[in-house]
């Protein structure tokens, strides 16, 4: 048979999807530190984790986030499942999915619930620093609580997390979107205002004038700053109940010494909110970014077919918080491996594998050298692994039922060899784990 493989050109290199990042092993300690702080904080506040699918029916997001929003209009990864014709979307956020699951499994049957989630979300935005097409959120949802105590609770939960992560400089902005009738009245006033300044509106704003005038307030177009600045503010249209809710929230935050700023322009980019909305903003690599956004969404559960129940929550942009952790010096170092097992190839492999398993059983992190090679090259690998000890199984040692322990460096567990880091000792194979533990404790020498 003719072999034409040499004539073929090399296959083209594949790359990841634009705006979707790999998290490489060197970055993992930072992610892990963040995830552990999140899990601790959620537990401390009585929140339990829920995991919902990444794919949902497209109509879930259209109905909840709103048809005339950036997310639904132009940022969703939607497709028709060719196998059954279903319209599906990669979740752009997870409040809708959580509410869908809460309704589907009747989770509120025995009272309110505190839930949290973490995972990837997908939005087809223009990628830039802090803005990706696959990004990660950690979110919390307090479902079934009508009062401002729950609003305060979710906000304090965020502050607790910033504190736990040692982060400073994240400031809180709050606003109230009132109730639907109050927004209707404000909306009419807004339309009237923008109508009378039509010539100052860009095409996007003109298109939104009647469909979603509130979103015009959120414009990033500096030329519209004046017309937005002079627009009527929703806060002036709040009725007694909405005002009382907002004032009580402020009092609760003040009582906990949590500083905030009322931002009457804060409208959020999703349609399901009422009453309280909030954002945590911080300077991330020179630009001001929202690291967390949330609020109350009392109408959503009913809108998605559930028994009416109030709710509030937030979602944190994980990549943005990680960037803050990097810039504020909270980056943890790479976790070290404790022991690297060096051995003499086939003849010693079984004994080395068994020794590695025993040492792991004793709670050490162990890398067993794979693939043979000289002792010299294996020691190079041992060094590169960051291991504190090399465990050496040569042919003669294995024949005697022994192994050698060599100190490579002072380890993360504060062990210091009594007489220099180049020390090496021989121990019986069944005593290896104990000898390592003794060496680390520093209260005994490995056997000689
Ligand atoms: P959101 O404001 O759309 O709210 O997103 C929350 C956070 O996710 C943002 O503040 C930002 O930090 C991060 N984020 C959003 N888009 C991107 C992106 N393209 N790249 C990187 N990070 C991004 C929600 O998603 C609501 N579900 C929050 C919520 C929960 N409200 C009530 N409960």
Query: What is the Å distance from ligand 1's center to 139 Cα?
Result: 9
pLDDT value for 420: 47
Separation of alpha carbons 391 and 37, rounded Å: 34
Nearest CA to ligand 1 atom 31: 294
| % of the chain with per-residue pLDDT over 90 | 80
pLDDT value for 160: 98
Q: Could you tell me if 49 and 79 are in contact, meaning their C-beta atoms sit under 8 angstroms apart? A: no
Residue 5: both structure tokens together = 């493989």
Query: What is the Å distance from ligand 1's center to 137 Cα?
Result: 7
Query: What is the Å distance from ligand 1's center to 316 Cα?
Result: 6
pLDDT in tens, 327-341: 998 777 766 789 999
Residue 402 has pLDDT above 70, yes or no: yes
Nearest CA to ligand 1 atom 21: 131
Residue 446 has pLDDT above 50, yes or no: no
**Biggest CA-to-CA distance, the chain:** 95
Closest ligand 1 atom number to CA of residue 139: 30
Query: What is the Å distance from ligand 1's center to 281 Cα?
Result: 12
From 93, 99, 132, 324, mutation site for ligand 1 pocket: most ligand atoms within 8 A of C-beta: 93
Closest ligand 1 atom number to CA of residue 280: 10
Q: What string of H, E and C letters represents the secondary structure of the chain? A: CCCCCCCCCCCCCCCCCCCECCCCHHHHHHHHHHHHHHHHHHHHCCCEECCCCCEEEHHHHHHHHCCCCHHHHHHCEEEECCCCCCEEEECCCCHHHHHHHHHHCCCCCCCCEEEEEEEEEECCCCCECCECCEEEEEEEEEECCCCHHHHHHHHHHHHHHHHHHCCCCCEEEEEECCCHHHHHHHHHHHHHHHHCCHHHCCHHHHHHHHHCHHHHHHCCCHHHHHHHHCCCCHHHHCCHHHHHHHHHHHHHHHHCCCCCEECCCCCCCCCCCEEEEEEEEEEECCEEEEEEEEEECCCHHHHCCCCCCCEEEEEEEHHHHHHHHHHCCCCCCCCCCCEEEEECCHHHHHHHHHHHHHHHHCCCCEEECCCCCCHHHHHHHHHHCCCCEEEEECHHHHHCCEEEEEECCCCCCCCCCCCCCCCEEEEEHHHHHHHHHHHHHCCCCCCC
pLDDT in tens, 94-127: 999 999 999 999 999 999 999 999 999 999 999 9
Separation of alpha carbons 434 and 43, rounded Å: 36
Residue 1 has pLDDT above 50, yes or no: no
Query: What is the Å distance from ligand 1's center to 90 Cα?
Result: 15
pLDDT in tens, 312-366: 999 999 999 999 999 998 777 766 789 999 999 888 999 999 999 999 999 999 9
Rounded to an integer, the average pLDDT of 148-158 is: 98
Closest ligand 1 atom number to CA of residue 96: 27
Closest ligand 1 atom number to CA of residue 92: 25
Helix axes 148-165, 28-44, angle to 10 degrees: 140
Nearest CA to ligand 1 atom 30: 314
Rounded to an integer, the average pLDDT of 49-65 is: 97
Nearest CA to ligand 1 atom 23: 317
| % of the chain with per-residue pLDDT over 70 | 94
* Choice among 29-43, 216-230, 234-248, 407-421 with the minimum mean pLDDT: 407-421
Rounded to an integer, the average pLDDT of 238-264 is: 97
Query: What is the Å distance from ligand 1's center to 312 Cα?
Result: 14
pLDDT value for 193: 95
Closest ligand 1 atom number to CA of residue 279: 10
Nearest CA to ligand 1 atom 10: 292
Rounded to an integer, the average pLDDT of 35-55 is: 98
Nearest CA to ligand 1 atom 12: 317
Nearest CA to ligand 1 atom 13: 317
Pocket of ligand 1 (CB under 6 A): 93, 95, 123, 125, 130-132, 135, 137, 139, 141, 269-270, 290-295, 297, 313-315, 317, 319-320
Rounded to an integer, the average pLDDT of 153-162 is: 98
pLDDT value for 215: 80
Nearest CA to ligand 1 atom 11: 317
Residue 135 has pLDDT above 60, yes or no: yes
From 141, 293, 311, 322, mutation site for ligand 1 pocket: most ligand atoms within 8 A of C-beta: 293
Rounded to an integer, the average pLDDT of 250-271 is: 94
Separation of alpha carbons 290 and 156, rounded Å: 17
pLDDT value for 181: 95
Query: What is the Å distance from ligand 1's center to 371 Cα?
Result: 46
Enumerate residues 6+ apart whose C-beta is below 8 A from 244: none
Closest ligand 1 atom number to CA of residue 125: 19
* Choice among 33-47, 77-91, 206-220 with the minimum mean pLDDT: 206-220
Nearest CA to ligand 1 atom 8: 317
Query: What is the Å distance from ligand 1's center to 41 Cα?
Result: 19
Residue 413 has pLDDT above 60, yes or no: no
């Amino acid at each position: 048979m003719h072999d034409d493989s040499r004539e073929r050109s090399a296959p083209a290199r594949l790359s990841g999807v634009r705006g979707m990042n790999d998290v490489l092993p060197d970055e993992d300690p930072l992610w892990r530190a963040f995830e552990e702080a999140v899990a601790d904080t959620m537990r401390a506040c009585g929140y339990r984790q829920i995991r919902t699918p990444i794919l949902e029916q497209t109509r879930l997001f259209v109905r909840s986030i709103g048809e005339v929003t950036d997310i639904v209009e132009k940022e969703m990864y939607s497709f028709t499942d060719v196998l059954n014709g279903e319209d599906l979307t990669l979740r752009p956020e997870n409040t809708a999915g959580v509410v869908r699951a809460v309704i589907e499994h009747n989770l509120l049957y025995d009272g309110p619930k505190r839930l949290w989630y973490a995972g990837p979300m997908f939005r087809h935005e223009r990628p830039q620093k802090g803005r990706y097409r696959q990004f990660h959120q950690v979110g919390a949802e307090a479902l079934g609580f009508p009062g401002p105590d729950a609003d305060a609770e979710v906000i304090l939960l965020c502050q607790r997390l910033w504190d736990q992560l040692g982060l400073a400089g994240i400031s809180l902005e709050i606003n109230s979107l009132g109730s639907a009738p109050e927004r209707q009245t404000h909306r009419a006033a807004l339309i009237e205002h923008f109508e009378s300044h039509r010539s100052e509106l860009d095409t996007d704003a003109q298109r939104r004038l009647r469909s979603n005038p509130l979103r015009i307030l959120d414009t990033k177009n500096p030329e519209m700053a004046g017309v937005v600045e002079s627009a009527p503010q929703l806060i002036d249209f709040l009725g007694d109940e909405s005002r009382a809710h907002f004032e009580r929230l402020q009092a609760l935050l003040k009582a906990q010494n949590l500083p905030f700023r009322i931002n009457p322009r804060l409208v959020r980019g999703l349609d399901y909110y009422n009453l309280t909305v909030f954002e945590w903003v911080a300077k991330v690599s020179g630009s001001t970014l929202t690291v967390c956004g949330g609020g109350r969404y009392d109408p959503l559960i009913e809108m998605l077919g559930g028994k009416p129940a109030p709710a509030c929550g937030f979602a944190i942009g994980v990549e943005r918080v990680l960037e803050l952790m990097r810039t504020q010096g909270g980056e943890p170092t790479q976790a070290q491996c404790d022991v690297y097992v060096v051995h003499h190839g086939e003849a010693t492999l079984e004994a080395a594998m068994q020794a590695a398993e025993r040492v792991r059983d004793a709670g050490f992190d162990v890398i067993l050298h794979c693939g043979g090679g000289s002792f010299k090259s294996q020691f190079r690998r041992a060094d590169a692994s960051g291991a504190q000890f090399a465990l050496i199984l040569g042919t003669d040692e294995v024949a005697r039922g022994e192994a050698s322990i060599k100190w490579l460096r002072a380890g993360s567990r504060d062990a210091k060899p009594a007489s220099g880091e180049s020390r090496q000792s021989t121990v019986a194979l069944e005593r290896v784990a104990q000898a390592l533990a003794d060496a680390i404790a520093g209260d005994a020498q490995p056997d000689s």
